[in-house]
Structure 1
């Protein structure tokens, strides 16, 4: 029987009161009850991302394409709230104020530890890549405006994105596709810093992430039990909810993820598992037997799996392969039978070097490594020096970045040997001019090629991380053809780049632009090889 409160309402409420639809642990029926007798909670529209306030009194969720949304029926999500009533139910459903909701996709993703402030994710879902997480912090009572939250070196190449703030208010789980991604969307973790910023997202590794999609993660109050959705093999349907336990403080070693089974998962899509600290219920969404695209369901909280003691984090972790036995269950009341661990990865290439500032100062940052020919990708911290093991020789993309310096992005061919590559980073100083590598246009036009987005998004990220920075974009051509046409083309290309940056939320007052045609060559125009060096777009830092 499906408990739909558009019909059979009285019978469903009576059955719940009598315990006829009780849900003992994870072995319950697939037909779990909806949360409230209020028919406005689950509707024919899409309801998703349930988040319960720390005091257990409010259930926040997203609702898509509702006619009352800030952007009308075309609005991909507005944030709504339901208030706790009697009998562990929620009712009095209302759309949140215009301070929270906008024509973009708006949804509450968590709270500060004291519950006084909430985190709001606001995103343009039409964008194919984002150098800004669209995360905001505001008073939970709606008394103030949202304030932007900065995530260091954030970059999402996928259209989909999800964020959840853990109950401790200090840990953030992100589903996105970035530089160090094992397949489609992967799960990343970020930590709140003392200054309110969040650390660079770190991939949770191959114990969790697969070539399939991993999304909508939730970290339980114990700080170790991870629930997430995935369409990996072994599930009940399209997207299923899985659970795993963190094994050490590296955040890259996890127990073998276990499917929560038919008590929750169905041939439909199950997402957004959320287990509040208070109460006896966990919440999630499903498209199975729903009132529309997705409905919110609840399930009695399972007992937290008995987790093994945290192991000491290895001093260096590079290119690890999973060592957890694939058949290990999530609960181990007794010691598991001995299993043969996977052999460690034998690196074919060792890449090492130094990351220095051209100003002579020590640069503390990251080196990101991604294979162009294979699936390998990883990152390593760099405090003056770095070292990383790579599995195969070949062409790699290397990105070195450090706070207060311009990033370096380069392609290199690495042999089967120890290779030394040093990075000298230019400090962010007024007057510095940077060539925008890999910003490309259709021939003789100002139409940006799609592959230019990566380079342009790096400029967006730079401006986001340095909110006081102002730049001048300049466009240049070679001297072939009409000088008047070249001048117009260079100006049009500057405007195309500027428009792209503005579309990513950069204030127009921070970006000036001017085209110079072929009047400022940096190389000879006598032959095609050097002429191409003159066809470029640059930016100069005007204010820091």
Structure 2
């Protein structure tokens, strides 16, 4: 979906609505659908993958089992996780969303005449319950979504303070990595009927959901609304996505990957009452702002063969292997599945390069780049990694950072927000000139400055520790000024991921 497809309009300080339009009608994805029926679909924003439930009524257990396999969607291989989904007396399972390291899912069990809903997380066969204080769901189903940045979870459930049956709730992640209690999104979204299968777009403001409480084409129709402020209870009037998607059947689980041209959803139309996974193409000819600033053209791998273009090759800094990445310029993203980007013009703009599990990097598009291949190395943030912050600089002999140092620290904050389990140890170093004791004190003071900046951006202090080493751990010779400056540095080590 192009970045112009959903456009937030800011008038008098309020976000009013988003523009959404499609081409044609929905198309069934034959490689995914089975006679058992599909439901509760979520997409992985970090790679071409999705998860959904396949209805398997009658199973004697509701333990988590999922199957992984490659399916061909739109001519490309996707990883697909299928959750056996039981809607009978034993309860149900439904995926909520992905992180770079695993997947969150809902689990509803039935015991002694009561339903109990909770949220689980699974990664590399390790599974644990997510602690959400006072979480209570009285309904036999529980669906939801996870925001791409991992800061918000939207749940559909029937709790003690619902306006009807299933309502939409937000669960926010606290700065220390724990989750807050679920809070109802309010009467502007929720009705006396059911609101289910929410999907929060990457702006963390545009919310899509299915409901049977607002009329429409059939039983469940898909609507969207835009959050107006940070209370999470003030929303624009929900808008029906229209007859191109909604039918006389039931439509749920609408979602899309930012930057993609297709959206996906589940429909029971012409499917004997079971759900089928569908896709529909976004329309690209809606522009809210015609006075568009000319930007460098960024093309993902394979889209152009101009030999005069500048090629960015994204690699792992340690292994040199190409890694999947995304490039962000003026909030527009391009995906490079093989870590290659082609740029047709240079204009001095700065772009951000990201890859899941790596520290992002800002790259200036200027004359320093050459025609042909330019290697951009990203540092892994796996446990044990030590990364030098080359652009975090200090005024001589003081712990005061030079203006501009915050740009690289903001990337550290970004990767910690994207990976909420990461904890880091900041390390301050000097060269060996001067009083060794004072050098240790200076390095400790500089570490404190860096730590204070990171915490001020909302990162929990429990995730950031620090230590000053003075000149005791050089990485280069102290014989010349040219090499001594390499020893004056701030690093961070990933101590937990």
TM-score range, shorter chain: 0.3 to 0.5
Q: Which has the higher contact order (CA 8 A, sep 6+)?
A: 2
TM-score (norm 2): 0.48
More strand by share: 2
